[in-house]
Amino acid sequence: MAAVPMAETTLLVFRGDRESGKAVEYRVPFAPGMVVLDALHLIQARQAPDLAVRWNCKAGKCGSCSAEVNGRPRLTCKTRMDSLPRDKPITIFPMKAFPIIKDLVTDVSWNFKVNRKIPPFRPRPDVEWKMYQRDVDRVQEFRKCIECFLCQNVCHVLREHGKEEEFGGPRFFVRVASLDMHPLDDVSRASVLKEELGLGLCNITKCCTEVCPENIHITDNAIIPLKERVVDEYYDPLLRLVRKIRGAGRA
Amino acid sequence: MTLAHETHEHDVLIIGAGGAGLRAAIEALAQGVRVGVVCKSLLGKAHTVMAEGGIAAAMANVDASDDWRAHFRDTMRGGKFLNNWRMAQLHAQEAPERVRELEQWGALFDRTENGEILQRAFGGHSFKRLCHVGDRTGLEMIRTLQDRGVNLGIDVYMECAITRLMKDGDRIAGAFGYWREQGRFVVFKAKSVVICTGGIGKAWKITSNSWEYTGDGLALAYDAGADLMDMEFVQFHPTGMVWPPGVQGILVTEAVRGEGGVLRNKNGERFMERYDPKRLDLSTRDVVARSIYTEVREGRGTEHGGAFLDISHKPAEYIKRKLPSMYHQFLELADVDITKGPMEVGPTCHYMMGGIRVDAETAQSSVPGLFASGEAAAGLHGANRLGGNSLSDLLVFGRRAGLAAAEHAKRSPTPTIDSLQIADAEREMLLPFERGGGESPYAIHEELQDVMQRLVGIFRTEEDLRQALSGIEKLQERTARVHVEGSRLFNPGWHLARDLQSMLTVAEAVTRSALARRESRGAHSRIDYPDLDDAWGKMHNVVVKKADTMKLFESPVIEMSDDLKQLLIEESGTK
Is B442's CB within 8 Å of A133's CB? no
Residue of A nearest to B446 (CA): A45
Residue of B nearest to A32 (CA): B244
Q: CB of A140 within 8 Å of any CB in chain B?
A: yes
**Terminal Cα-to-Cα distance of chain A (whole angstroms):** 63
**Cα angle at A118 between A114 and A122, to 5 degrees?**
155
Q: Quick check: A1 pLDDT over 60?
A: no
The list of chain B residues with pLDDT below 50 reads: 573-575
Is A50's CB within 8 Å of B139's CB? no
Q: Read off the pLDDT of residues A188-243 as tens digits, 9 standing for 90 and up.
A: 999 999 999 999 999 999 999 999 999 999 999 999 999 999 998 888 777 777 76
Given a contact cutoff of 8 angstroms between Cβ atoms, the answer to whether A1 and A81 are in contact is: no
Is B442's CB within 8 Å of A139's CB? no
Residue ranges of A 177-206 with Cβ closer than 8 A to chain B? 179, 182, 185
- Closest C-alpha among A155, A168, A184 to residue A226: A168
Q: CB of A101 within 8 Å of any CB in chain B?
A: yes
Q: CB of B235 within 8 Å of any CB in chain A?
A: no
**Cα angle at A218 between A215 and A222, to 5 degrees?**
135
Residue of A nearest to B138 (CA): A61
Is B139's CB within 8 Å of A49's CB? no
Distance between CA atoms of residues B84 and B543, nearest Å: 17
Contact residues on chain B for A61, CB-CB shorter than 8 A: 49-50, 136, 139, 325
Give the pLDDT of residue A238.
75
Q: CB of A102 within 8 Å of any CB in chain B?
A: yes
Question: E strands of B327-380, at which residues?
Answer: 343-352, 355-356, 370-372
Give the pLDDT of residue B574.
44
Pairing mode, if any, of strands B228-229 and B539-546? antiparallel
Q: Read off the pLDDT of residues B316-339 as tens digits, 9 standing for 90 and up.
A: 999 999 999 999 999 999 999 999
Q: What is the pTM of this model?
A: 0.96
Distance between CA atoms of residues B205 and A134, nearest Å: 42
CATH topology of domain A110-237: Fumarate Reductase Iron-sulfur Protein; Chain B, domain 2 (1.10.1060)
Residue of B nearest to A215 (CA): B328
Domain ranges of chain A: 8-106, 110-237
Mean of pLDDT values over A65-81: 97
Question: E strands of B242-364, at which residues?
Answer: 262-264, 307-310, 343-352, 355-356
Active site positions of B, annotated: 285
Give the pLDDT of residue B435.
87
Give the pLDDT of residue A251.
40
Q: CB of B321 within 8 Å of any CB in chain A?
A: no
Distance between CA atoms of residues B396 and B399, nearest Å: 6
Residue ranges of A 142-181 with Cβ closer than 8 A to chain B? 143-144, 146-147, 179
The ipTM value here is: 0.95
Is B489's CB within 8 Å of A121's CB? no
Is B490's CB within 8 Å of A101's CB? yes
Residue of B nearest to A136 (CA): B108
Interface size, chain A vs chain B, as Cβ–Cβ contacts under 8 Å: 160
Closest partner CB to A32 (pick from B114, B244, B490): B244
Give the pLDDT of residue A247.
59
Is B106's CB within 8 Å of A105's CB? no
Distance between CA atoms of residues B519 and A141, nearest Å: 48
CATH entry, A8-106, from 3.40.30.10, 3.20.20.70, 3.40.630.30, 3.10.20.30: 3.10.20.30
Please state, as a whole number, how many other Cβ atoms lie within 10 Å of the Cβ of residue B267.
Answer: 8
Closest partner CB to A60 (pick from B329, B446, B492): B329
Closest partner CB to B492 (pick from A52, A60, A132): A52
Q: CB of B484 within 8 Å of any CB in chain A?
A: yes
Q: CB of B281 within 8 Å of any CB in chain A?
A: no
Give the pLDDT of residue A236.
75
Complete DSSP assignment for B141-209: HHHHHHHHHHHHT-EEE-SEEEEEEEEETTEEEEEEEEETTT--EEEEEEEEEEE-----GGGSSSBS-
Question: E strands of chain A, at which residues?
Answer: 8-16, 21-29, 66-69, 72-75, 90-93, 100-102, 105-106
Share of chain A above pLDDT 70, in %: 94
Give the pLDDT of residue B1.
57
DSSP letter, residue A223: I
